């Protein structure tokens, strides 16, 4: 007797759901220290590579076409994947967009972060030779300007083309890291005696980052020739705000 095709049929599970199920299963076993399987490690590694490929494609596609004109299928196709695979890693298009923003903006910020954390300039200088350890601030700014083209999604946000994402960018972890690094740098300069001891490093760091963002937006929107000429004047403002005051005779 033939098997009843309807009664005995195996239910068909959508491909994306099957993929997500196995991905979660692999992640569960990967977190279990008692399991040591080269196969699981290989699958986990492959999953991470696939996720990264999706993110890289998302950065370029969102930067080129914008959030509204981009579909997840476009991104998956750019990454050489099936149209539903991305949903195994990202809940929806918005989640993918925010992850892409985090990645590209963080990479952009990292380009200039080294100038903040570098301690070679944090030596005490005689007041006559004082140049705003605004030196590192200028280098941070010019590095971020020079590398903006290499981070197209970050540049799109600075250009004001994704206004709905502005609030999200201001709270991005990498930007918080930059503020913290600036505060730490200012604290070390206070200890070295190269900046005023009566300023709050955290408040000044937040102000410096805010000014940097405003300048970056101006450069992207108006062009470098319209704004970078003011770098010396901005440095002078930093100098006036941070320079140790001389005792009056």
Distance CA(246)–CA(231), nearest Å, equals 25
Q: What is the DSSP string of 89-112?
A: T-SSHHHHHHHHHHHHHHHHHHHH
Question: What is the predicted pLDDT for the residue at 232?
Answer: 74
* Residue 140, both tokens: 């941070």
The pTM for the full model equals: 0.73
| Residue 155 CB-density burial (10 A; 0-12 exposed, 13-18 middle, 19+ buried) | buried
Question: What is the predicted pLDDT for the residue at 9?
Answer: 52
Distance CA(210)–CA(18), nearest Å, equals 46
Which of 144, 204, 149 has the alpha carbon at shortest distance from 174? 144
Domain 93-242, CATH class in plain words: mainly alpha
Distance CA(198)–CA(162), nearest Å, equals 39
The angle subtended at Cα 220 by Cα 219 and Cα 222, nearest 5°, is 65
Question: What is the predicted pLDDT for the residue at 129?
Answer: 41
HSE (CB half, 13 Å, CA atoms) of 132?
Answer: 19
Cα distance between the two ends of the chain: 112
Which of 108, 91, 97 has the alpha carbon at shortest distance from 74? 97
For the chain, the domains span: 15-88, 93-242
Question: What is the predicted pLDDT for the residue at 153?
Answer: 96
Instruction: Say which residue the tokens 């490690």 belong to.
Output: 41
The angle subtended at Cα 166 by Cα 164 and Cα 169, nearest 5°, is 130
Question: What is the predicted pLDDT for the residue at 39?
Answer: 59
List C-alpha distances in Å: 134 to 10, 15, 141, 160, 232: 69, 55, 10, 27, 10
Distance CA(27)–CA(20), nearest Å, equals 10
> Are the C-beta atoms of residues 238 and 208 closer than 8 Å to each other?
yes
Q: What is the mean pLDDT of each run of 10 residues along the chain (249 residues)?
A: 49 59 60 55 81 97 96 95 91 95 94 78 40 68 90 94 84 90 94 92 93 89 74 79 69
């Amino acid at each position: 007797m033939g098997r009843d095709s309807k009664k005995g049929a195996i239910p068909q599970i959508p491909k994306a759901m099957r993929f997500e199920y196995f991905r979660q299963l692999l992640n569960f076993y990967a977190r279990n220290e008692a399991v040591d399987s080269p196969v699981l490690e290989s699958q986990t590694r492959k999953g991470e590579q696939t996720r990264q490929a999706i993110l890289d494609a998302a950065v370029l596609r969102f930067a080129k076409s914008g959030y509204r004109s981009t579909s997840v299928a476009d991104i998956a196709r750019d990454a050489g994947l099936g149209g539903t695979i991305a949903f195994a890693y990202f809940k929806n298009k918005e989640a993918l967009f925010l992850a892409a923003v985090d990645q590209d903006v963080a990479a952009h910020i990292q380009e200039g972060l080294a100038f903040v954390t570098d301690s070679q300039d944090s030596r005490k200088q005689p007041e006559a030779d004082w140049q705003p350890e605004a030196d590192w601030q200028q280098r941070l700014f010019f590095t971020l300007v020079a590398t903006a083209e290499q981070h197209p999604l970050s540049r799109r946000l600075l250009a004001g083309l994704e206004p709905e994402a502005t609030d999200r960018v201001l709270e991005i972890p990498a930007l918080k890291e930059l503020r913290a690094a600036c505060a730490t740098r200012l604290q070390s300069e206070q200890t070295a005696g190269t900046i005023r001891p009566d300023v709050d490093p955290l408040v000044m760091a937040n102000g410096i980052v805010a000014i940097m963002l405003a300048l970056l937006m101006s450069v992207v929107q108006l062009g470098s020739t319209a704004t970078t000429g003011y770098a010396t004047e901005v440095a002078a403002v930093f100098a006036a705000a941070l320079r140790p005051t001389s005792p009056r005779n």
